[in-house]
């Protein structure tokens, strides 16, 4: 196991050192004192593990394929952009556009997230990305979603705090969203249908949450006591009448 002190290290040099250590055969690297360095873990194709102590900058884990990244702190914007595989665990909250065009792997966020989470997520056959958020989410959750799975739990909210913002799943044409609360129709785009999760859906949720709860030491049974809303698209081509072909 290798350790890098990232205090004051420019992001290019930090990422270069990480890649050199992986190339030399290291399988677990700890980055201490991370403070806003961008692009950590980007494009890595490895079964290695990165442990980040601090707050990484934008575009963490973009284009990754196989690596496991654990952040002991908060994340910023653009995390898991076009992520292809692996696992990302964030022991805190994140900013906007988490999981943009994500194609595979799992992202677990312990707390809340910003706007446009899961935008343009996509799946193909057995490659279905998953994002699980423990707290609340901002507007445009699941915007233009084309595949994969989003699960929003809304844990530890204040009594009057909404679980989600407006314009949920606008333009959604694939995948599924599960929200641990009742969702009024006015919050969603016209492209989706909102129903209560069926027993089969709840089993799918349970399967996804098992590892998540182990990561954050949460009570799975207590979480599963609540009702879940299910959001699915009503069409795979919601704007087809706007095109000339």
Containing structural domain, residue 128: 93-239
> CA geometry: angle at 43 spanning 41 and 47, to 5°?
70
Q: What is the pLDDT of residues 15-48, one digit of tens each?
A: 999 999 999 999 999 999 999 999 999 999 989 9
What pLDDT shows up at residue 126? Answer: 84
Mean pLDDT of 9-19: 97
Looking at the 3D structure of the chain, how many domains does it have?
Answer: 1
**102 within a domain of the structure (yes/no):** yes
Mean pLDDT of 153-168: 94
Mean pLDDT of 76-100: 97
What pLDDT shows up at residue 109? Answer: 98
Q: Are 123 and 147 in contact (CB under 8 A)?
A: yes
**116 within a domain of the structure (yes/no):** yes
Q: What is the mean pLDDT of the chain?
A: 94
What pLDDT shows up at residue 190? Answer: 85
Mean pLDDT of 175-183: 97
What pLDDT shows up at residue 94? Answer: 98
Retrieve residue 11's tokens. Answer: 């992001």
Mean pLDDT of 90-106: 97
**43 within a domain of the structure (yes/no):** no
Tokens 């909250």 locate to 93
Q: What pTM, to 2 d.p., does this model score?
A: 0.95
**73 within a domain of the structure (yes/no):** no
**7 within a domain of the structure (yes/no):** no
Give 239's pLDDT tier (boundaries 50, 70, 90).
low
What pLDDT shows up at residue 99? Answer: 97
Retrieve residue 59's tokens. Answer: 């575009």
Give 161's pLDDT tier (boundaries 50, 70, 90).
very high
**74 within a domain of the structure (yes/no):** no
Bridge partners (DSSP) of residue 7 are: none
**148 within a domain of the structure (yes/no):** yes
pLDDT higher than threshold 70 for residue 156: yes
What pLDDT shows up at residue 237? Answer: 67
Give 234's pLDDT tier (boundaries 50, 70, 90).
confident
**231 within a domain of the structure (yes/no):** yes
**Measured CA distances, 150 to 80, 135, 153, 226, 238 (Å):** 14, 13, 10, 17, 20
HEC readout, the chain: CEEEECCCCCHHHHHHHHHHHHHCCCCEEEEEEEECCCCCCCCCCCCCEEEEEEECCCCCCCCCEEEEEEEECCCCCCCCCCCCEEEEEECCCCCCCCCCCCCCCEEEECCCCCCCCCCCCCCECCECCEEEECCCECCCCCCCCEEEEEEECCCCCCCCCCCECCCECCCCCEEEEEECCCCCHHHECCCEEEEECCHHHHHHHHHHHHHHHHHHCCCHHHHHCCCCEEEEECCCCCCHHHCCC
Interacting residues of 93 by C-beta distance below 8 A, sequence separation 6+: 74, 75, 109, 110, 111, 112, 113, 135
Q: Are 46 and 23 in contact (CB under 8 A)?
A: no
Q: What is the pLDDT of residues 116-152, one digit of tens each?
A: 999 999 998 888 999 999 999 999 999 999 999 999 9
CATH number at residue 146: 2.160.20.60
């Amino acid at each position: 196991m290798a350790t890098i002190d990232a205090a004051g290290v420019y992001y290019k040099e930090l990422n270069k050192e990480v890649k050199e250590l992986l190339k030399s055969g290291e399988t677990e690297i700890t980055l201490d004192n991370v403070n806003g360095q961008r692009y950590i873990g980007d494009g890595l194709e490895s079964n290695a593990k990165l442990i980040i102590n601090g707050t990484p900058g934008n575009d963490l884990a973009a284009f990754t394929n196989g690596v496991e990244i654990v952040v002991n702190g908060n994340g910023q914007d653009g995390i898991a952009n076009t992520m292809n595989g692996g696992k990302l665990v964030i022991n805190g909250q994140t900013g906007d556009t988490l999981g943009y065009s994500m194609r595979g792997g799992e992202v677990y966020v312990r707390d809340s997230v910003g706007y446009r989470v899961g935008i343009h997520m996509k799946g193909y056959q057995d490659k279905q990305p998953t994002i699980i958020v423990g707290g609340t989410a901002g507007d445009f959750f699941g915007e233009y979603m084309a595949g994969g799975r989003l699960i929003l739990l809304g844990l530890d909210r204040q009594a009057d705090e909404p679980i989600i913002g407006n314009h949920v799943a606008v333009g959604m044409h694939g995948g599924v969203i599960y929200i641990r609360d009742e969702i009024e129709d006015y919050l969603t785009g016209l492209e989706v249908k909102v129903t209560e999760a069926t027993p089969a859906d709840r089993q799918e949720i349970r399967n996804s949450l098992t590892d998540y709860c182990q990561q954050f030491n949460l009570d799975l049974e207590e979480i599963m006591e609540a009702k879940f809303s299910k959001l699915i698209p009503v069409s795979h081509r919601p704007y087809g009448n706007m095109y000339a072909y």
